[in-house]
Amino acid sequence: MDTTAGHTERDRSSAPEPGVPGAGETGEGSRSVRSGGSSGVSTLLGALRPSGMSWRRVLLLGVVCTGLVLLFSRFVVQPFQIPSGSMEPTLRVGDRVLVNKLAYRFGEEPARGDLIVFDGAGSFVPEGAEGNPVGAAARGVLAALGLAEPAETDFVKRVVGVGGDRVVCCDKGGRIAVNGVAVDEGYLHPGDVPSEVPFDIVVPDGTLWVMGDHRSSSRDSRDHLGSPGGGMVPVERVIGRADWIGWPVGRWASLERTDVFSRVPDVPSAPGGPHG
């Protein structure tokens, strides 16, 4: 999950005609000046309206366009406003990332290194934390257009472990190890260590272990080890993959998948089950 200047010609009806009192005199001249101002506003509004189109049609067109944008945002690509610095330096506060909602719709699953947006209800926050349903719905519409921060239950993090992975922190070099292979996380915030909290976990099938790039300012899977679900995010709760930074203009970029996990082996499948 921003001005149009119009130029209008001076209304000729406001200019005094021969025999009509001028601007400092009384009578029809003063009324002429006032009506000229009103006419100017009308002219400006008319210039903003497409030629030959009534205001009713303009309003209907606006509603239809908004509806199409919401449908596109709901099913294809949604702008997501970054509300905190937990993903710095990769993502900054106020960035609008474009979330690809089709990334995992056709058989592909989240992979190590992916930047994902997910619904943390039931894992990072208690179920029912959305608050007032009317306010949540209104906020959801604005968030879908990239005009407001996301719902309090939505998060953006990096996938570090997938189902079956053993994720350990830290090895003798102070690095995170996944399936016995140490990972040099070049995307971490300068000055941060991989984790000040030691852990050794095995990610259950169908879930993800996620962490922020700004480890010292990120509440992620590490902070929810004692919560229901043990800090794991169900794959079914993933909204999509953050593939691009769309705003501000100076930050336009494609968020390529990192290759720091390329040497990590997959967990071998066991007979009768997806993982050993």
**Active-site annotation holder among 73, 86, 218, 221:** 86
CB 139 within 8 A of CB 148: yes
Distance, in Å, from the CA atom of 83 to the CA atom of 150, rounded to the nearest integer, reads 8
Residue 253 β-bridge partners: 245
Say if residue 48 is exposed, middle or buried (CB neighbours under 10 Å; 0-12, 13-18, 19+). Answer: exposed
Active site residue 101: no
Edge-to-edge strand order for the sheet containing 199-202? 181-183, 176-178, 166-169, 199-202
Residue 43 has φ and ψ, to the nearest 5°, of -65, -40
CB 201 within 8 A of CB 166: yes
**Active-site annotation holder among 32, 101, 123, 157:** 157
Residue 156 has φ and ψ, to the nearest 5°, of -125, 125
Token readout for 262 is 């390329």
Using CA atoms, how far residue 124 sits from 60, 103, 155, in Å, is 41, 23, 9
Q: Is the peptide bond before 198 cis (omega within 30 degrees of 0)?
A: no
Active site residue 218: no
Instruction: Provide the pairing of β-strand 238-247 with 154-161.
Output: unpaired
Which residues form the catalytic set? 86, 157
